Chains A and B, each alone.
Chain A
């Protein structure tokens, strides 16, 4: 075991918001995730979580997050219980989230939760003795996505500090970008936020970046911003988050990443996306070396393996 693994103890810790973690702790998780890569690919196997059970409670749809958590647990020898759709659970009979969590807590060693209400994971952590991982709480946080994004940027660009990172799309309702903006500011990245006026980054997030010493540039023009970018982080305009469908119709399709746009960018720009994408990235971009989003999605496995091992006390 390397010395960096001895220093920090995450056993039993909740993973609710990236704001709960210091830069040092994030580095620690990312370093551990790096060691998990051959295990995530199935090239090596160590059942360090044998006998452990994870509750996977997805009250909202998910492909990557849910499957990568399940893969992560399976690759480390643990088991998964849970649901991908709450329609078959007692929630439909009016059971409170608190009671559902109490049940999951008594059946398992850790809980992963995705829920449509902001603060749901924080509430879950109050009612569970087992550690709780937030896999997305409405328009709130998605810390494991943030960690895998940081992992990806660091791996692809050999660092985060002073990198020009452009976040584009729905910056108002997009939960991934709120957590990510904070973490990138923590690492001293140069930030540019590109969005339609109605989907601007919330003031709290801007202020948060400023407090960390980063003054983000805000613009509606992607053409200009892309020229200086090292990383272009694209998000989907999420129809399900709009209280008013008219507002959605006005902004959908505002930005489209295609080969033409990338011709104006640096040669080594990378394009990231938390996925699912709809129309914001032209499929022709997939074939270019700029497209990192599928690799990014895979990185969810080693990062979540690292987190599960850390909070459940498994050691490589």
Chain B
């Protein structure tokens, strides 16, 4: 029996696959989608796969910069990004956290100076890539609830 696709194939664009189930909306938020794009964006959540449930995001007619997408590894460390050209996978990239995360996560310490009204962005050093572990550059605390602290 032919397997039915939950969301249709795209001709050109980007597919973010293997997103931790339930985190697709947060991934879009991190990537600033749909702001600044008029592309068609399809989201599938809780899709069955060999590795269990996962989410998938497809963005038509826009090739996402793999480095830009790397920061989603904070909440979806197993995600991959496929660049699609004429229905074929032209490039495949497994996300990997950068060494530093800037302006994306707020510090869990309420008395950290990065949470005060100072002209600085939050800044974290990545101390472990998978599972993601980050340390505040300013107060050196390690937030445990990273997904909840996405700005």
B49 contacts chain A at the CB level, 8 A cutoff: no
Smallest distance from the beta carbon of A54 to chain B beta carbons, Å? Answer: 22
A131 and B63 alpha carbons, distance in the complex (Å):
45
Q: Mark B78-104, 1 if CB is under 8 A from A, else 0.
A: 000000000000000000000000000
Q: How many residues in A have their beta carbons less than 8 Å from beta carbons of B?
A: 19
A98 and B116 alpha carbons, distance in the complex (Å):
11
Smallest distance from the beta carbon of A117 to chain B beta carbons, Å? Answer: 4
Chain A residues whose CB sits within 8 angstroms of the CB of B112 once the complex forms: 117-119
Smallest distance from the beta carbon of A243 to chain B beta carbons, Å? Answer: 9
Q: Which residue of A lies closest to B117 (CB)?
A: A96
Please state if B140 and A123 are interface contacts (CB–CB under 8 Å). Answer: no
Known contacts A96-B118, A116-B111: A123-B142 contact under CB 8 Å: no
Comparing B7-15, B28-36, B66-74, B131-139, the segment that makes contact with chain A is B131-139
A139 contacts chain B at the CB level, 8 A cutoff: yes
Smallest distance from the beta carbon of B99 to chain A beta carbons, Å? Answer: 17
Q: Which residue of A lies closest to B110 (CB)?
A: A243
Please state if A17 and B140 are interface contacts (CB–CB under 8 Å). Answer: yes
A97 contacts chain B at the CB level, 8 A cutoff: yes
Smallest distance from the beta carbon of B94 to chain A beta carbons, Å? Answer: 28
Chain A residues whose CB sits within 8 angstroms of the CB of B120 once the complex forms: 98, 123, 126
A138 contacts chain B at the CB level, 8 A cutoff: yes
Chain B contacts with A in 109-151, Cβ cutoff 8 A: 109, 111-114, 116-120, 136-142
A126 and B137 alpha carbons, distance in the complex (Å):
11
A122 contacts chain B at the CB level, 8 A cutoff: yes
Smallest distance from the beta carbon of B26 to chain A beta carbons, Å? Answer: 26
Known contacts A139-B111, A204-B142: A119-B136 contact under CB 8 Å: yes
Please state if A119 and B119 are interface contacts (CB–CB under 8 Å). Answer: no
Q: How many residues in B have their beta carbons less than 8 Å from beta carbons of A?
A: 17
Q: Which residue of B lies closest to A126 (CB)?
A: B120
Chain B residues whose CB sits within 8 angstroms of the CB of A98 once the complex forms: 118-120
A143 contacts chain B at the CB level, 8 A cutoff: no
Q: Mark A136-157, 1 if CB is under 8 A from B, else 0.
A: 0111100000000000000000
| Among A97, A115, A117: residue with most chain B CB under 10 A | A117
Contact of B113 among A17, A117, A139, A204 (CB under 8 A): A117
A56 and B142 alpha carbons, distance in the complex (Å):
30
Chain A residues whose CB sits within 8 angstroms of the CB of B141 once the complex forms: 118, 204
Chain B residues whose CB sits within 8 angstroms of the CB of A17 once the complex forms: 140
Chain A residues whose CB sits within 8 angstroms of the CB of B119 once the complex forms: 96, 98
Q: Which residue of B lies closest to A207 (CB)?
A: B142
Smallest distance from the beta carbon of A136 to chain B beta carbons, Å? Answer: 13
Chain B residues whose CB sits within 8 angstroms of the CB of A139 once the complex forms: 111
Known contacts A119-B136, A119-B139, A204-B140: A97-B111 contact under CB 8 Å: no
Chain A residues whose CB sits within 8 angstroms of the CB of B140 once the complex forms: 17, 19, 118-119, 140, 204
Smallest distance from the beta carbon of A128 to chain B beta carbons, Å? Answer: 13
Q: Which residue of B lies closest to A139 (CB)?
A: B111
Smallest distance from the beta carbon of A101 to chain B beta carbons, Å? Answer: 10
A98 and B139 alpha carbons, distance in the complex (Å):
16
| Among A19, A116, A120, A204: residue with most chain B CB under 10 A | A120
Closest 10 CB pairs of A and B: A119-B138, A118-B139, A119-B113, A119-B139, A117-B113, A120-B113, A123-B113, A122-B138, A118-B112, A119-B112
Q: Which B residues lie at the A interface, using CB under 8 A?
A: 109, 111-114, 116-120, 136-142
Can you give 24 A-B contacts (C-beta < 8 A)? A96-B118, A98-B118, A115-B113, A117-B111, A117-B112, A117-B116, A118-B109, A118-B111, A118-B139, A118-B141, A119-B113, A119-B136, A119-B137, A123-B113, A123-B120, A126-B120, A137-B113, A138-B111, A138-B139, A139-B111, A140-B139, A140-B140, A204-B140, A204-B142
